[in-house]
Chains A and B, each alone.
Chain A
Amino acid sequence: AQTVTQSQPEMSVQEAETVTLSCTYDTSESNYYLFWYKQPPSRQMILVIRQEAYKQQNATENRFSVNFQKAAKSFSLKISDSQLGDTAMYFCAFMKWAAGNKLTFGGGTRVLVKP
């Protein structure tokens, strides 16, 4: 079974600065996908970014980027130019390829952006 660990329960960052969230996972699979989801106070889960394990290039979506280290089984999320609207819970998630597309989530990191 896969496990996903987010070691930072809570982080705060000043508006316009950068914050990095860590995520490690444990798997014996070689084909898989990794995701970061955002859950704002509304509790709606929103996909932030995804990464296919077979791709060496790190994914980027506007101010969000990842550092994917396959050998180290690490998948960190960097939020650049933080905005007040980035305040939310962030969840790292793992999906094994061709296995019902089930997601395994980490415990989450609460990010507070301060003005």
Chain B
Amino acid sequence: DGGITQSPKYLFRKEGQNVTLSCEQNLNHDAMYWYRQDPGQGLRLIYYSQIVNDFQKGDIAEGYSVSREKKESFPLTVTSAQKNPTAFYLCASSNPGTGGPYEQYFGPGTRLTVT
């Protein structure tokens, strides 16, 4: 089955440590995205990538970094510079440029707790 996987589902880290969240897709989508969701709020864009080896900052990129070495993978690193890293992180993918919008498909998310 095609889809997006994020691992792990729950992640706990101590303050001051970097942590990397995994996102893999087998939908053959060109574009991938990372969003952050805080309790009771909508999603905010962290980073996005439209092609391999290229990515752009979203609205809240400070304290985060990404890489896109493979089409299928778009890992997100939450660095110690991120002041409030505890949140729910969602990865998504889409296939723009095919004549449509097109809609983003989301993974199941990773809940990160930093203490």
The answer for the CA separation of A95 and B48 in the assembled complex, in Å, is 14
Q: Are B40 and A103 in contact (CB under 8 A)?
A: no
Question: Which residues on B sit within 8 Å (CB–CB) of A105?
Answer: 42-44
Tell whether A44 pairs with B42 under 8 Å between CB atoms, given A101-B101, A102-B33. no
Question: Which residues on A sit within 8 Å (CB–CB) of B103?
Answer: 35, 47, 50
> How many chain B residues have a CB neighbour from A under 8 Å?
25
> How many chain A residues have a CB neighbour from B under 8 Å?
24
Stretch of B16-24, B76-84, B104-112 on the interface side: B104-112
Question: Which residues on A sit within 8 Å (CB–CB) of B41?
Answer: 107-108
The answer for the CA separation of A32 and B40 in the assembled complex, in Å, is 26
Chain B residues in the interface with A (C-beta under 8 A):
31, 33, 40-45, 48, 50, 56, 58, 88, 90, 92, 94, 96, 101-106, 108-109
Chain A residues in the interface with B (C-beta under 8 A):
4, 33, 35, 42-47, 50, 52, 91, 95, 97-98, 100-108
- A selection of 15 A-B contacts at a CB cut-off of 8 Å is A4-B42, A42-B108, A43-B108, A43-B109, A44-B109, A45-B43, A47-B103, A47-B104, A91-B42, A98-B96, A101-B101, A101-B102, A102-B33, A103-B43, A107-B41
